[in-house]
């Protein structure tokens, strides 16, 4: 019976250590990751949602952002995307979107490209056999 | 082929296992056929000596195979950076999807069989007359077949995973609207299925712990307890149903909540973002399997001298089941409260 109690005590200590280290690790990993699937964000392909309560949600790609958008539609106040050429944030409504054979984020096969300038978008479209697509955040 | 310490270990363990299980499996089948057939004392002694050698070596192989299951996932995790597009183990599984899926189903079955056999072995070793030897040898030859397939699968997978392969990861599969873990409960429980699954899981899990606790209440789980086998079989079935509910509730409700990613349903991502969830899963698996091991021990261990020791063993097994299931539940609750 004493040996049983010892085992129980050991297991409880092990669980507590796991929980503490797990929760610590969790908090550390929340920083700078996609709010959809948790992957590290490459800023050039990021998408940002500003919610009604003022908080910001960030996503690694158009794919993750559009999947979240369908769930968060009512809470989203503004959407910003990043111009692939300059790396600057622009409003999603003002951007040009192209789907081409170039994969930007491999884990979700994101083929959507964002441009602030129509000529840049057209150049990419011709070079990589793309097609125009509408703003996915309407 | 991706070479690192873990993949080399997998291949090494696989190769050793193939060699020893072929030998051990054939030997145990041969010994089983000879066991119990009347023969001269010399032949009998030689048979016993050979049986103990086979059992000793196979026990070591089987103990190593128990570690192989977590090692398998550890190795896949170590491949993530070498597979383009993989952000978690799911991506790595997409390099050889059919083989990996097959192994993912085979490994828990093999783990369960090995655990059950080892308990039977320890029970038999505690006796003076080895009344379970024949059954142990027969079961060992069956388990050897599973271990052999598992080991060959491991080797083939390790060799077959080529670095730099381009894959899609979990986002494109686990989060789609028509995933079975969503559509099935939704069709049964309605649009608020997530809340219902959550409650259902807590109810069944607590009920399982309660029934295991009740079984432990029978002072000695003695052979005179009426319907013991029936009760333990029911518990095993109930534990399996609870296991299915655990998986569905984890995918649909708890994993997204623990990861702070409400729309992401990948369990492999959970293990990577919330590493202590692995401990929780391990406790749950050991708890559920312990319930099953209790039943298999009752099924195969009730013979001769072993039958007298069986109640004590069953009590220990169910005590472990009770503790592991409770511990996994406590971990889950603490996580949900912290979140």
Spell out the residues 6+ positions from residue B218 whose beta carbon is closer than 8 angstroms to its own. Answer: B225
Residue A58 domain-assigned (yes or no): yes
Residue A38 domain-assigned (yes or no): no
Residues B331, B194 share a domain: yes
Q: What is the pLDDT of residue A18?
A: 65
Residue the block writes with tokens 């196979």: B58
Residues A16, A60 share a domain: no
Residues A124, A69 share a domain: yes
Chain B residues within 8 A of A26 when measuring between CB atoms: 258, 260, 273-274
Per residue in B225-261, pLDDT (tens digit) is 667 888 899 999 999 999 999 999 999 999 999 998 9
Residue A138 domain-assigned (yes or no): no
Residues B125, B204 share a domain: no
Residues B205, B145 share a domain: no
Best residue in A5, A6, A106, A110 for a mutation probing chain B (most B CBs within 10 Å): A106
Q: What is the pLDDT of residue B268?
A: 95
Q: For residue A6, is pLDDT > 80?
A: no
Q: For the whole model, what pTM was predicted? A: 0.88
Residue A56 domain-assigned (yes or no): yes
Instruction: Mark out chain B residues that contact chain A at CB-CB < 8 A.
Output: 84-87, 91, 166, 168-172, 175, 258-264, 266, 269, 273-277, 279, 283, 319, 323, 327, 330-331, 334-335, 338
Residues B50, B138 share a domain: yes
Residue B166 domain-assigned (yes or no): no
Q: For residue B27, is pLDDT > 60?
A: yes
Q: Which residues pair with A99 in a beta bridge?
A: A112, A131
How many structural domains is chain B composed of? 2
Q: What is the pLDDT of residue B223?
A: 61
DSSP H or E stretch at residue B144: helix B133-160
Nearest-angstrom CA–CA distance, A127 and A121:
10
ipTM of the predicted assembly exceeds 0.90: no
Residue B165 domain-assigned (yes or no): no
Q: For residue B318, is pLDDT > 80?
A: yes
pLDDT band of residue A56 (cuts 50, 70, 90) is: very high
- The residue length of chain A stands at 138
Q: What is the pLDDT of residue B164?
A: 83
Spell out the residues 6+ positions from residue A105 whose beta carbon is closer than 8 angstroms to its own. Answer: A39, A42, A45, A60, A61, A63
Average pLDDT over residues B159-177: 88
Residues A55, A84 share a domain: yes
Last residue of a domain, one of B160, B189, B208: B160
Residue B239 domain-assigned (yes or no): yes
Residues B191, B101 share a domain: no
What's chain B's average pLDDT? 91
Chain B residues within 8 A of A25 when measuring between CB atoms: 274-276
Residues B262, B153 share a domain: no
What's chain A's average pLDDT? 85
Residues B187, B145 share a domain: no
Residues A57, A18 share a domain: no
Residues B206, B122 share a domain: no
Q: Hey, which residues 41-100 in chain A have their CB within 8 Å of chain B?
A: 63-64, 67-68, 71
Q: For residue A29, is pLDDT > 60?
A: no
CA of A122 to nearest chain B CA: how many angstroms apart?
27
Average pLDDT over residues B103-129: 95
Residues A125, A59 share a domain: yes
How many structural domains is chain A composed of? 2
Residues B116, B184 share a domain: no
Residue B93 domain-assigned (yes or no): yes
Q: For residue A30, is pLDDT > 60?
A: no
Lookup: tokens for B206? 């607590």
Q: What is the pLDDT of residue B177?
A: 83
Lookup: tokens for A136? 């996915």
Q: Which residues pair with A132 in a beta bridge?
A: A98
State the residue range of the domain holding A55. Answer: 43-133
Rounded to the nearest 10 degrees, how much is the dihedral formed by the CA atoms of B116, B68, B281, B325? Answer: 20
Give B182's Cβ-side CA count (13 Å radius): 14
State the residue range of the domain holding B128. Answer: 5-160
Per residue in B30-46, pLDDT (tens digit) is 999 888 776 788 888 88
Residues A124, A75 share a domain: yes
Nearest-angstrom CA–CA distance, B82 and B100:
17
Average pLDDT over residues A111-137: 93
Last residue of a domain, one of B130, B160, B190: B160
Q: What is the pLDDT of residue A31?
A: 65
Residue B218 has what DSSP assignment? S
Q: For residue A20, is pLDDT > 70?
A: no
Angle at A38 between CA A33 and CA A43, to 5 degrees: 35
Strand A89-91 vs strand A96-99: parallel, antiparallel, or unpaired?
A: unpaired
Q: What is the pLDDT of residue A25?
A: 55
Last residue of a domain, one of B160, B184, B210: B160
Q: What is the pLDDT of residue A21?
A: 63
Return the SS3 of B195: helix
């Amino acid at each position: 019976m004493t040996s049983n109690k010892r085992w129980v005590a050991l297991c409880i200590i092990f669980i507590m250590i796991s929980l503490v280290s797990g929760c610590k690790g969790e908090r550390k990993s929340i920083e700078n990751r996609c709010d959809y699937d948790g992957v590290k964000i490459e800023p050039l392909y990021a998408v940002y949602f500003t919610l009604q309560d003022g908080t910001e949600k960030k996503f690694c790609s158009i794919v993750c952002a559009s999947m979240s958008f369908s769930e968060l539609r009512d809470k989203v106040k503004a959407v910003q995307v990043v111009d692939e050429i300059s790396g600057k944030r622009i409003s999603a409504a003002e951007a040009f979107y192209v789907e081409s054979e170039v994969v930007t984020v491999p884990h979700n096969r994101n083929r959507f490209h964002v441009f602030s300038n129509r000529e840049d978008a057209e150049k990419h479209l011709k070079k990589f056999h793309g097609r125009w697509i509408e703003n996915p955040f309407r | 082929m991706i070479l690192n310490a873990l993949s080399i270990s997998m291949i090494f363990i696989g190769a050793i296992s193939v060699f020893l299980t072929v030998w051990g499996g054939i030997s145990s089948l041969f010994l089983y056929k000879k066991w119990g057939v009347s023969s001269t004392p010399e032949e009998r002694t030689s048979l016993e000596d050979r049986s103990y050698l086979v059992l000793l070596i196979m026990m070591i192989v089987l103990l190593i195979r128990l570690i192989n299951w977590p090692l398998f996932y550890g190795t896949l995790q170590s491949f993530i950076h070498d597979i383009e597009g993989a952000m978690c183990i799911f991506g790595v599984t997409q390099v050889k999807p059919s083989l990996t899926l097959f192994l993912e189903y085979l490994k828990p079955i093999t783990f369960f069989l090995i655990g059950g056999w080892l308990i039977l072995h320890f029970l038999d070793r505690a006796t003076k007359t080895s009344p379970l030897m024949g059954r142990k040898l027969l079961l060992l030859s069956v388990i050897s077949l599973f271990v052999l397939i598992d080991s060959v699968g491991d080797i083939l997978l390790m060799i077959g995973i080529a670095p730099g392969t381009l894959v899609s990861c979990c986002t494109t599969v686990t989060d789609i609207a028509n995933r079975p873990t969503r559509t099935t409960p939704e069709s049964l429980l309605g649009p608020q299925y997530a809340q219902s699954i959550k409650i259902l899981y807590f109810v069944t899990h607590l009920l399982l712990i309660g029934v295991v606790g009740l079984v432990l209440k029978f002072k000695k789980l003695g052979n005179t307890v009426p319907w013991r086998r029936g009760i333990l079989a029911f518990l095993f079935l109930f534990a399996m149903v609870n296991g299915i509910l655990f998986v569905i509730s984890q995918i649909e409700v708890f994993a997204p909540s623990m990861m702070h990613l409400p729309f992401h349903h990948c369990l492999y991502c959970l293990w990577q973002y919330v590493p202590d969830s692995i401990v929780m899963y391990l406790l749950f698996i050991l708890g559920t399997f312990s319930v099953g091991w209790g039943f298999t021990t009752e099924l195969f261990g009730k013979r001769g001298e072993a039958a007298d020791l069986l109640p004590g063993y069953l009590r220990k097994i169910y005590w472990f089941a009770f503790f592991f299931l409770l511990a996994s539940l406590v971990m889950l609750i603490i996580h949900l409260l912290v979140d």
